[in-house]
Amino acid sequence: MMDFEQNSNISGPSGADSSGKPPINYYNNPRQVRVKNKRGWGLFWGILFGLSVLVNAMLFLVIIGIVTVFAAGQSSSINERVIYYGPRTSKIAVINLYGIIDGETAQEAARQLSIAAKDKNVKAIILRVDSPGGTISGSDQIHNEILKARNDWDVPVVAFMRNIAASGGYYCSVACEKIIAEPTTITGSIGVIMGYLVMQELLEGKLGINPVIIKSGERKDWPSSFSKPTQEQIDYLQQKVIQPAFRRFVNIVADGRTMLTVFDVERLADGSIFAAEEALQENLIDGIGYFDDAVKQAQELAGIDKAQVVEYVKPFSFTSFWGASEKTVLSLDKKTLLELSTPEVMYLWSIH
């Protein structure tokens, strides 16, 4: 009887218990195995995806680092682009002077002029100008670098004027041996201009701001952006700033254009602009033509019949691209406000 009770809970051959239901086998159940396998593969692919993201992020950072280092190394380099093909042993280098002349423009022009002058295969240089002028310092630096190329390195330089070569653009051009202008060129504008903002009414009348200026002498803040200039202040600036810069401009033109006397230049130096025909009549330029004519003039001065004409271009740089993007953002910081309120003396043809 005891044996029967003890054996009564043992399932039979069919695997059924006393209730008649088959027992659950957790090791051999196909559905449980599939769920377990899916979880395992999901974990595997999740780890693999995470590692892939991490590796790609690290690879991206490495590439950015390599590009940045390469760009920094290339920032001081420059490439030649061929305009006209010819013998490489007889090259004419074209230096482009475009837009407003400032310190950065002057540095780049000086660098290119130095590269061209030191290249033994460069037999002549063409300064291709399309500029209304700019800062006095920048214009004077470029003028000096052209004279250095001519005198120290004995390389002839021809100026080729395109759309506009006025004021500082002309100041740079007169350092060249010959000046060729397109028929539609506007040049001249020999003179000096200075401008600054007077914000007195805006600050005091509109915003209720009263600037306080503490100075060591009466003329320390002449001219001031916080008050309208008096006639005494204007006369003072004419004497101290405008006239010295003007006299230098006149003398530079007289030295560069040997067919003109100082008196001749003074007659033309009232800020007037000249079309190409009138500029030729006044001996401000040597000829009217196009780029091919400037090339022929350069070949003649260099004593060569054929030449490969090249220009210098900067290679693409991520650093310069990002820098250019940053410049588009308007930032009214302390430095910008000071620049806006500081008077600037210019060799510039300016239309207000």
User: Two tokens at 4?
Assistant: 């029967």
Residues 147-199 have pLDDT tens digits of 999 999 999 999 999 999 999 999 999 999 999 999 999 999 999 999 877 77
pLDDT band at 269 (very low <50, low <70, confident <90, very high): very high
The answer to whether the beta carbons of residues 80 and 310 sit under 8 Å apart is: yes
Q: Domain segments of the chain: what residues?
A: 21-69, 78-314+330-348
**83-120 as b/e: b if 16+ CB within 10 A:** eeebeeebbbbbbbbeeebeeebbebbbebbeebbeee
Residues 292-321 have pLDDT tens digits of 999 999 999 999 999 999 999 987 555 554
Which residues are bridge partners to 96 per DSSP? 128
Residues 34-84 have pLDDT tens digits of 555 556 666 666 676 667 767 776 776 666 655 554 544 444 578 899 999
Q: What is the model's pLDDT at position 49?
A: 67
User: Two tokens at 92?
Assistant: 């004419």
Q: What is the model's pLDDT at position 72?
A: 45
Residue 286, pLDDT above cutoff 70 = yes
SS3 for 312? strand
User: CA-CA distance, 334 to 341, in Å (whole number)?
Assistant: 11
CATH superfamily for domain 78-314+330-348: 2-enoyl-CoA Hydratase; Chain A, domain 1 (3.90.226.10)
Q: What is the model's pLDDT at position 46?
A: 66
Catalytic hit among 36, 38, 215, 220: 220
Q: What is the model's pLDDT at position 136?
A: 96
User: CA-CA distance, 270 to 247, in Å (whole number)?
Assistant: 12
Tell me, yes or no, if the pTM score tops 0.85: no
Catalytic hit among 90, 131, 139, 167: 167
220 is catalytic: yes
User: Two tokens at 292?
Assistant: 């091919």
Q: What is the model's pLDDT at position 272?
A: 96
CA distances from 131 to 1, 163, 273, 295 (A): 121, 8, 13, 20
User: Two tokens at 28?
Assistant: 């051999």
167 is catalytic: yes
DSSP annotation string for 81-104 = EEEE---TTSEEEEEEEESSB-HH
Rounded average pLDDT over 279-299: 98
Which amino acid appears at position 13 of this protein?
Answer: P
CA distances from 350 to 79, 130, 183, 242 (A): 33, 14, 22, 16
DSSP annotation string for 205-216 = IIS--------S
User: CA-CA distance, 336 to 227, in Å (whole number)?
Assistant: 20
